[in-house]
Each structure stands twice: as structure tokens, then as C-alpha cells.
Structure 1
Amino acid sequence: MLLRRLRNARTLAVLAVAGAVLAPLPAASDPAGPAPRPVSAPGAAAPPRTVSAWLPYWDQENAYKIALRHADQLHTVSPFWYRMKSAGRVDLHGGAGSRRIVDGLHRAGIKVVPTVMETLPRGALAAVVTDPGRRATHVETLLKVVRSRAYDGIDLDYESIAPTGDAAYEKVRDGYATLVTDLCRRLHALRKQCVVTVSPKTAGTGRVWDYRRLGAAADRLRVMAYNLHWAEGSPGPLSTPAWYDEILRRATAEVPRDKLEMGLPAYGWDWAVGKRDRARHVTSLEAEALRRKVGAPYRIDPTSRTPHFTYEDGGTRRTVWYQDARGTAAHLPVLRRYGVRHTVLWALGFEDPNLWRELARS
């Protein structure tokens, strides 16, 4: 899997294979109708669920207001504020480190664990994590970020190593696990949280992540369970219950369930049918507004249990797949089946407002 989050394209790419087909849900005529409820055993009490979320710097004020509005549900907010440039350099995105936002989230009882991401050239991150000296330098650089504000820890979202080839992936996998282990140990000495964001491990993806070592070192392991279909691939759902089943079957075999956060999408892709053009990114809110604007009926795909629609744009037929509250509610029973009660949302401000209700009652 190759994943990068960028300001404009906001790319999140996952190369994966779908799992087995589940029984279909009836199609819905309108999203305003009742959403499906997660299934549980008779008399079983639902375990408490926590929600974390990333806060995008390009929509910071709106995302911050939403976080405060749902403070009773939020465990952690991770502002998408920092970008690794080299072992000894971490740059700030616009608005990064806002003390007003950090203090406001803290007053609301929300932990603030900013994300450090990277979009380094091929091989650059691998060169850092496999060199002991550069690893040590980078740990010190990350600790400076944590100490720069009243942060509760840090979230590493380092994705460019994901497509590492056969000849090097074991060395890169071990080097990254060592970097995380060293960083988490230092953070814990400061009483800070260590969070790591990773790609899903399936039959064909995720081998560069040593889930067992990362899960042992970190407080939370965030699995980006989205982009089964992505901007540069063929149209289709971002996730399916069957794919979630495969992801969690592997993840729970290697990581304690209480440390797992399942990443939920609040966005979609708008593809030109039959063309090789890169798909347009749409938030869940934008997708639903577009559906209503073009007059497309609301439909839930019976296999993936996610909404989708088609429309015409200047002579081009386009298809949109996205996730909303109804679709997410149909996916959550898989998490319950595996005893995974923590989720993380990409991203604040993207979501269907009804999603918060579904997360609260799931």
C-alpha cells in the first residue's frame, strides 16, 4: 500500500484485495431514513467505544469547532500539523502549534497528539530508519516537537516505506520498528503518548509493518482502514465489511485489542468512468451535496454496504463512492465481533453529521 496525505489532493491510497462477500443490505431510498444498527448477541452489553480524529490544517477552524461540539465522544485529536523533511528536520504546516487550539481542546477534556507525516522521495525514509545514527537524531527531533507545546504525545504517520521492495523490506521493517520502540520508550519516560499510524495488513499488503513490535511499543496503533479503491485505481468502495474482517483478523492476532484504533473514512472519490484520470477527492458532506445537486438517487451497494451514485458532467459520465453514517453503521459490527472498541476518523469536518450519533450508539 502507498499512502500519502497532501493538502490539495488529500491522497490516501491502499492497494488491497477484497474479502468474501457478505449478505446484502436492502437498498435505501433516502439517507434520512433509519440507519442499520450493529448486531450484538442477545442480552450482551455493548462495550464502551472511544473516538479519535485527525484535524486537517487546511480546514482548521471548522474542524476545531466540530471537535469541541463532540468533546464528550472524543478521546484524542491529532492535528495534522507537522511534516518530516529529514532525520533532523520537522517542518510545520500552516497554523501548526496553535496554543489557542491546544488549550481549547485540553479544556474540553480531549488529548492533543499531533501527527507528523512525511512525503519523502523513494528510499529517503528507509535510509533514516535503517541507520542507527540517523534514527537517534530523528528521535531527538521528534521529542523537541513534543516539548514545544503542552502536547500529550505524538502520532507518527510515515507511509513512504509501505511499497518497499522484496530485497529491502525486512531491513526497513525492522528499522522502523526499532525507531518506534526507541521513541515510545523516551515518550513514556516523559509520561507522553506514543501513537503509530499504519496501513492494513492483508494477504497482499502491509508486510513492511511489524504489527507485533509496533503494538508492543505504542499506546495506540491506528490502522488506516480505507481506500480499498483509491484515486488512481478503478472505481469502487473505500471499504467493505469483508475487508474489515480480514484486516482485524490479522491485526488482533498481533496487537492487543485495546491498543487498536480502526481508521474510518469520512470522504470519497469521484471517478470519470472509462478514463485514466485521477479521481477527485470529496468529503462525505461534499459527496452528499453533489448527489442532491445532480438529482441522483441514494443507493447503498449491497456488498460493500456503502453509498454510491453516477451522474453526467460535461458529457463525461462520473461515479462517486463515499462513506456516510449509514454505511459506517453497517461496518461497525465487524469491530464489535473482534472486540475492537477504538476508532479514529479521517477527518474532522469531512463527516456526515449523523456519524457521531452512530458512533455513540454503536
Structure 2
Amino acid sequence: MVFIICTFLFLGIHLLKKGDSALSNENFRSSSIGIVDEIRNFFPNQKTTNSSETENSSSTQSESKSNFFSFNKDDQDMPEATLLPKADENTSFRASTWFSDYEAMKKTVHLYNEIHPFIYGMKGRETNNGDLYSSWGSSQKHERISELRKLNPNIKIIPTIFRWENKYEKISENIGMNGRNDIRDKHLSNILYELDTYGYDGIDIDYEGMSCEKKEKFEEFIVILSKEIHKRGKILSVAVHPKTPAKKESMKACKGLKDKIKMDYAENWRGPMTHDYAFLAKYADRIKIMAYELHPRKYRNPGPGPQAPNTWIKSIIEYAKARVPAKQLYMAIPTYGYDWALNCNSKIKSVYYQDAVRKKEFGIHRQPTNIDQILANTKNSSSWINLSKFSWVHTGKTYEDPSIWYKSEGCDRVAFYMNRKAFEDKMNLLRQYDLGGFSFWQLISDNDPGINDYLELLVSNKLPPVEKIKEPVQDPNKSKVEPTNPEEAKIDSQDHSEKFVGKQG
């Protein structure tokens, strides 16, 4: 988370508006960005798996009659206590991560309470057939799950099923769209088959970028999946797009939905409209907010900047805590950043800690980063058009995130990245709000090794205490909502890159 982690990945977030809120009009994503090619390369070349193909499975396991899994409106009214398992609730602040680097995971699995192998995707592109594919083959799944549990007997292994919806790849029949509850049921059967066959502790659903008319069918899908997973005493995790409070609430109509969508958040693009925090929190044990991509891999608004500064994370938390019980709430933060050209149109690159170490010798390292001061005190900053035209975004802000300002091939550049100091500052904020935990997008060998040192202190309860934030969180149901004209919700038509931050050179 997301976001995504991917973009998860995936997964940037939304709309910046000039003024007090840095989160409103120009489109930017909640999940990861600029990473579509990496995820396409990651899955298809591996052995695929679904319940109808796996050895020793009968053909009936992946075949489903229409409405094989029942959904009744009464299911939505089931008491929360009957839906959520009580297991694993004794840890006060849980550490989790998405990962595709198995070797890095083996070395650090002892530092986490739960892990999300980023291994499953949907078969089919513009239409769905209910089947899954996996980047691990059947024998790999058995062997790796066993190995990880030997390394950390207390670990919760909760694999991710990912898709980012775009014009080429849809999330449709798999959640029962187009009248295809039979395909939805087949999709559910395949998910449960994987859960049962490989003994996972739960499933993480990371369905991103869905258009607004899919909100109700996605919610039905989650209700049914929750019921089946909790019958097994397992954990349901859902990755969601980040949201921040709207200055003014409104109601939006979306073609195909019976009810209008309450727009009490600032992000006015398709993804967040399908992720209703309060609804999902009734059925999912973990709500993992993909708090990254504040400054996507684009040269348009909002331009260069950090991926998840605390000023923004705090706003996300305050929106979410009014809708999700704190102990179900995770903030997913990035371990990557981007490297932008300031005065030319050179390629934007992804940056991990080891990349940043190599760049330090070529420029000036700043932490914290105050862009107002840098623009004011640098002689040639007037030529930094890629940054200066969005300078209002950074007015009055100092970021805990590190940055490197350097020159390459005749072009001035800035690279934002994640190190232990920035990570610790973000963790202190999350701990102040007494959240359930955090997630990474994502664990790779290029991350700052100092982060692992911090996690050692976390898991051994050796971190100094932080003062809890006790300010009251407003009840969102008490807010006055001003209806707007019953227009169909406007959906951004620009490309949204997909989740899976890979090395981009």
C-alpha cells in the first residue's frame, strides 16, 4: 500500500490544490508510480497457479455456480465481533512488509510480525475469468512458507493478490460485475483454495484504481470473502488508497450505483471512491493505507518532492482514525523515492538508499529538507522550472525526508529518498497515534540497513516511549454534507501507472 504497494505497490495520490490543502486538484496517485513495466515482467514469466491447475485438485474446486457464495444484505449488519478474529491482537504495534525479494526476506523475517509475499495477480486483461497466477510455483510455495516459518515461528504469512485497474487490465467479473457472480465465485474459490492448500495465515487484497461504479460489487466481494476467511480463523487484509479530509463535503452520483458517494475527502479521482474505509473496516482485520506517491513520477503538478512526508501522513491518519479502529489501521510507507531533473526534461529515476549513497559524492545532502530556503539561497534556482513552478506546494513546510541536490550531464537534479532517520521520524508519528502497525512498500536489499537496526529495537521493545496524541477525532457521521448536482462522478482519464517499484536505473 497498499500502495503498493506496485503501488502496489502500488501506489500517489491525488489532487493538489493551491492553498492550505496540498491535496486537491491535480491528479496524482495513491499507489506506486512509473512501475508498470516492472510488474509486467515480474509475474508472466513465472509458473502460474490456480485451483483448477494445481496438482491433486479436482476440477470442481475452481468451478462455481452462480451465487455459490451467498450474499445477503443482512451480512452487512453482522456484529463486528463475529467477523473479526481475536488472534494476534496482543502486539501493540505490528511490523509488516510487502516483498518480492525472497533473499532479503529470509535475512530479515525475524524483524516482522507479518509479511505479504507479493506473488499473486489476476489472469485475464480486459475481462476476468476468476483465475489467479503466481510468481511462485506450487513447490516453491510449500518450501518457502516452511522455510520462513522455521526462521520466525511467530510470523503471519499473508500473501497479496494484486491488480491495478487501467484501460488494458480491468477488475470486473472477478468481483461480480457484468452480472457474472459465477466468475466472482470462481475467483473466491481460487483464493480460498490457495489459502487452504498452502496454509497461509490470511490474504491481502490489493485491488487498486477501480472506477466508481464498482464500489458496491467490490464491497459485496469483501463481505463474502471476509465471511469465508473468518470461518477458517484467518486474517483478511485490504490495501486502500490514501485519503485526506475535504474542506467541503459533497455527494457524487456515479452511473450504475444506487447511492451517491460521500466525498468527505480531498482526492477526487476514481481509486479512492471505491475504498470506503468505514465499510471495509467492518470486515477486514487490517486496513493498510498506501501512504506514498504524494509526488508521482511526473513533471506535472505537484512536481518534485518527497513520497510520504509527515505533514501529509498526519492528515491521512486523522481522516482514517475517525473511520477505522486504530488497532486495525496500518500506514504503509515507501522505501523508495524519485530523482528529478530541475532544469531539463531528462528521465525521472527511482531511488533507493544505495543509489543515494552513490549520488552523495556528487552534490549537497540535506536533511531535513526546506525547499523554500533552498530556492531562496541557491544562485541558479531561477532556472529550476520543474520545481519553481510548483514552489507553492512546499511553502512553509520542512520535510524530514533527505534529499541530494547535484548536477549530472549538464542538468541540475534533486533526489529524494528514504533513510533510517526519516523512517524513524515517521515511525514516531505512527506510534504517537497508537496505530495497529506499519507496512513497507517494499522490502529489498537496497534499503538502508539502519532501518533493520531500528526494527531490531522495535521487536525487542527497546525503543524509548513516545507521547501519545490525545486530541479527539471527530465523528464523520456528525458532519454536515452539502449535496451537489446529481452529476456522474468525473473520473480522471489520464494514465495511472501501476504498482511495483522496481529498480529503474
Structure-1-length-normalised TM-score = 0.80
- Partner residue, 2:199: 150
Question: CA separation in 1, counterparts of 2:438 and 2:6?
Answer: 22
Letter in 2 for 1:325: R
Question: CA separation in 2, counterparts of 1:76 and 1:275?
Answer: 43
Contact 1:82 1:114 in 2 (8 A): yes
1:13 aligns with 2:12: yes
1:118 aligns with 2:166: no
Return closer, same or farther for 1:305/1:16 CA change in 2, 3 Å cut-off: farther
1:204 aligns with 2:266: yes
- Partner residue, 2:261: none
Equivalent of residue 179 in structure 1, options 214, 221, 236: 221
Equivalent of residue 120 in structure 2, options 51, 69, 82: 82
1:317 aligns with 2:412: yes
Unaligned runs of 5+ in 1: 22-46
Letter in 1 for 2:194: V
Equivalent of residue 304 in structure 2, options 232, 235, 249: 235
Question: CA separation in 2, counterparts of 1:280 and 1:95?
Answer: 32
Question: CA separation in 1, counterparts of 2:344 and 2:205?
Answer: 35
- Partner residue, 1:301: 369
Equivalent of residue 214 in structure 1, options 255, 269, 280: 280
Unaligned runs of 5+ in 2: 23-90, 245-264, 371-397, 465-505
Question: CA separation in 1, counterparts of 2:2 and 2:205?
Answer: 16
Return closer, same or farther for 1:355/1:258 CA change in 2, 3 Å cut-off: same
RMSD of the alignment, in Å?
2.8
Q: Which has more radius of gyration?
A: 2
Return the offset for 1:172. 1.5
Return the offset for 1:16. 4.4
Bigger shift: residues 245-254 or 338-347: 338-347
After superposition, residues 56-135 of structure 1 pair within 5 angstroms as 56=100, 59-67=101-109, 71=110, 73-85=111-123, 86-93=128-135, 97-107=140-150, 108=152, 109-122=154-167, 124-131=170-177, 132-135=181-184
Contact 2:175 2:184 in 1 (8 A): yes
Question: CA separation in 2, counterparts of 1:10 and 1:280?
Answer: 17
Structure-2-length-normalised TM-score = 0.58
Question: CA separation in 1, counterparts of 2:422 and 2:324?
Answer: 26
Return the offset for 1:242. 1.9
Letter in 1 for 2:13: V
1:122-178 residue CA offsets vs partner (Å, 9 max, x unmatched) = 3721454353333322211211221231211111111131xx2xxxx1x32222122
Bigger shift: residues 109-118 or 89-98: 89-98
Equivalent of residue 224 in structure 1, options 290, 305, 323: 290
Which secondary structure state, in structure 2, belongs to the residue aligned with residue 247 of structure 1?
Answer: helix
Which secondary structure state, in structure 2, belongs to the residue aligned with residue 124 of structure 1?
Answer: coil
Contact 1:64 1:101 in 2 (8 A): no
After superposition, residues 316-335 of structure 1 pair within 5 angstroms as 316-335=411-430
1:281-302 residue CA offsets vs partner (Å, 9 max, x unmatched) = 2223322x22334253343214
Return closer, same or farther for 1:273/1:63 CA change in 2, 3 Å cut-off: farther
Which secondary structure state, in structure 2, belongs to the residue aligned with residue 340 of structure 1?
Answer: coil
Return the offset for 1:90. 0.8
Letter in 2 for 1:124: K
Contact 2:310 2:426 in 1 (8 A): yes
**Quick one: percent identity of the two aligned structures?**
26
- Partner residue, 1:55: 99
Return closer, same or farther for 1:16/1:342 CA change in 2, 3 Å cut-off: farther
Letter in 2 for 1:352: D
Question: CA separation in 2, counterparts of 1:4 and 1:257?
Answer: 21
Contact 2:338 2:348 in 1 (8 A): yes
- Partner residue, 1:344: 439
- Partner residue, 1:272: 341
**How many residues are aligned here?**
322
Which secondary structure state, in structure 2, belongs to the residue aligned with residue 155 of structure 1?
Answer: strand
Return closer, same or farther for 1:61/1:337 CA change in 2, 3 Å cut-off: closer
Bigger shift: residues 140-149 or 11-20: 11-20
1:191 aligns with 2:233: yes
Question: CA separation in 2, counterparts of 1:194 and 1:10?
Answer: 18
Bigger shift: residues 83-92 or 128-137: 128-137
Return closer, same or farther for 1:282/1:141 CA change in 2, 3 Å cut-off: same
Question: CA separation in 2, counterparts of 1:87 and 1:4?
Answer: 24
Letter in 2 for 1:184: S
Return the offset for 1:186. 0.5
Question: CA separation in 1, counterparts of 2:346 and 2:197?
Answer: 42
Question: CA separation in 2, counterparts of 1:140 and 1:278?
Answer: 43
Question: CA separation in 2, counterparts of 1:74 and 1:102?
Answer: 15
Letter in 2 for 1:172: K
Which secondary structure state, in structure 1, belongs to the residue aligned with residue 171 of structure 2?
Answer: helix
1:57-76 residue CA offsets vs partner (Å, 9 max, x unmatched) = xx321232222xxx1x4110
Question: CA separation in 2, counterparts of 1:255 and 1:116?
Answer: 22
1:24-76 residue CA offsets vs partner (Å, 9 max, x unmatched) = xxxxxxxxxxxxxxxxxxxxxxx9322001111xx321232222xxx1x4110
